[in-house]
Amino acid sequence: MSALKLLDQIVEVKNEQRARLARLRASHKPKILYGAGVYAYVLKRLLDAEHIALSAVMVDAAYRTERPFLGFTPVVTEESFDLLRASQVIVGIVNYPPVVDKLRRLGAGEIHVIDVPDYLNLPHPFMDLDFVRAHAESFETAAALFADDLSRATYAALINCKINEDLAFLRPHVRLDKLYFPQGEFRLRDDEVLLDVGAFTGDTVREFHHLRAGRYARIIALEPDEGNFAQLLATIAELGLDKVVPLPVGAWDETTTLRFVGKEMHIDNQIAADGEKRIAVEPIDALLAGLNVRVSLLKLDINGAEYRALCGASETIRRDRPRIAVRLHTREDLFRLPILLKRLLPEARLYLRQRNFMSMMAVLYALIEPPASV
C-alpha cells in the first residue's frame, strides 16, 4: 500500500482533450465516427455538445448494416479507404488500443480518442480538482476502504483521469473482464439468485444466462421504462427462459413515482424533476419481501440512482450478504458508494476495477468470500 495519501497522488495537468476538441471543432476536414455501438452513441452526444459535426459513421464489414445510426447509414471501412485517409477519425469503441493500431495500418489520416467521463453530466465537465479538495476527507476515507493495491491505484488513476480528461492515467490499470460478473473476482455457482437492477432490454439477463449455460436458480429483473421493459420481455421470450421474474419497477429508497428524461437509445435515461416521463420505484427490501426470495448477486447500473437504491436495500444486503457489482456514475458516488457499502456490509472486501479503456466503465465490487483472483 502506498504511503502517500490519496490527495498527494492527485494532480492537475494541461487538459489536452479540451485542446483536441477545439482543434476538431475548428478543422474543415471531414470527421468520421468509427463505431456504431453504445460508446459511439454517448461520444456523439459529447461531440454535439462541443458543436463538432460528423460527416459519416464507419463500421467494419463484419458489422455492416443498412439501419441508420444517429442519422447516418454507416459506411464500410473496407470500402472507404480514400475517405478514411482524408478524414479525421474519432474512435467510438471502448477498447481503443487495437483499433488505433488497425486504423494506422489502414492509413487513416488523423485518429482521435476522446473520453466521455460519463453521459449524465454532459455538456458539463465531470469533476475538477476543487471538488476533490472540498471532499478530501470523504475521498480519503473511501480510498482506505479498498481491499487491494490495484483498487487503490485504480481509484487515484480514475480521479486523475476524470479531472484531467486524460486516459493515460487509467490505461496501466485496465483489467479486461466481464463488466458485472468478472471471472477474476466472482465465483459463480449453480444456485445463484441474481437481482438485476437496471435490466434495460435484457442485455445482462442474456449475458448471465449464457455465462452460466442456464445453470442458476433465478433472475429478478427490474426495469421501470415501458419501452425497455417490453424489450426485456421479448429477450426473455426469445431465450425461452422460465427462471426470470421481470418487474416493471425501479429501485429507490421509498415507494413513489419519479419523473425522468428519456433519451434516444435509453441507456442514458435519468431521473429529473422536469422529466416528461414517469416511473414507479420501490425499495428493494420491500420488493424482495413481497417475493419471499433471497439474493446472492446484486447488480446495479441505473444512471446515478445507485446510492438511493442501495439505501433501500439495506435490510436485504445485511440479511443476504450478496456479492455486489455497481457502476460509478456520478462524482459523489466515487466516495459515497464505497463508504455506504462498507457501512451496510462491514465484512465485505471492496474492489475497484476499470473494465475497459474509457473512464465511464469503472465498477465497484463488494465481496464476502475471497475472490477467485485479484
pLDDT, position 119: 82
Residue 228 C-alpha from the chain's centroid: 17
pLDDT in tens, 95-130: 999 999 999 999 998 999 999 998 888 888 999 999
Percent over 90 (pLDDT), the chain: 88
Are 14 and 136 within 8 A, CB to CB?
no
Give the integer Cα–Cα distance in Å for 60 and 255.
46
**Given pLDDT bands bounded at 50, 70 and 90, which one contains residue 373?**
low
Task: Say if residue 374's pLDDT is above 70.
Answer: no
pLDDT in tens, 127-165: 999 999 999 999 999 999 999 999 999 999 999 999 999
Mean pLDDT on 67-96: 96
pLDDT, position 20: 96
69 shares a domain with 154: no
pLDDT, position 102: 96
Q: In what order do the strands lie in the sheet with 362-367?
A: 244-247, 218-222, 193-197, 297-300, 323-327, 362-367, 349-354
Would you say the C-alpha torsion 328, 332, 334, 335 has a positive or negative sign?
Answer: negative
**Given pLDDT bands bounded at 50, 70 and 90, which one contains residue 274?**
confident
C-alpha cell at 169: 492515467
Give 10's strand partners.
none
Are 373 and 352 within 8 A, CB to CB?
no
Average pLDDT, the chain: 94
Mean pLDDT on 64-81: 95
CB atoms within 10 A of CB 268: 19
Give the integer Cα–Cα distance in Å for 247 and 286.
13
- Domain with residue 40: its CATH number is 3.40.50.20
Kindly state whether residue 356 falls inside one of the protein's structural domains.
yes
**Given pLDDT bands bounded at 50, 70 and 90, which one contains residue 306?**
very high
Give the integer Cα–Cα distance in Å for 296 and 275.
34
Kindly state whether residue 6 falls inside one of the protein's structural domains.
no
Kindly state whether residue 11 falls inside one of the protein's structural domains.
no
**Count of structural domains within the chain:** 2
Give the 3-state DSSP-derived string for 135-204, with helices as H, strands as E and coil as C: CHHHHHHHHHHECCHHHHHHHHHHHHHHHHCCHHHCHHHECCCCCCCCCCCCCCCCCCEEEEECCCCCHH
Kindly state whether residue 307 falls inside one of the protein's structural domains.
yes
Are 147 and 351 within 8 A, CB to CB?
yes
77 shares a domain with 223: no
The enclosing H or E element of 324 equals strand 323-327
320 shares a domain with 357: yes
C-alpha cell at 29: 476536414
- Domain with residue 246: its CATH number is 3.40.50.150
Percent over 70 (pLDDT), the chain: 96
209 shares a domain with 86: no
103 shares a domain with 178: no
pLDDT in tens, 186-243: 889 999 999 999 999 999 999 999 999 999 999 999 999 999 999 999 999 999 999 9
pLDDT, position 240: 97
What is the span of the domain harbouring residue 276?
Answer: 140-367
344 shares a domain with 222: yes
47 shares a domain with 154: no
199 shares a domain with 84: no
pLDDT, position 1: 40
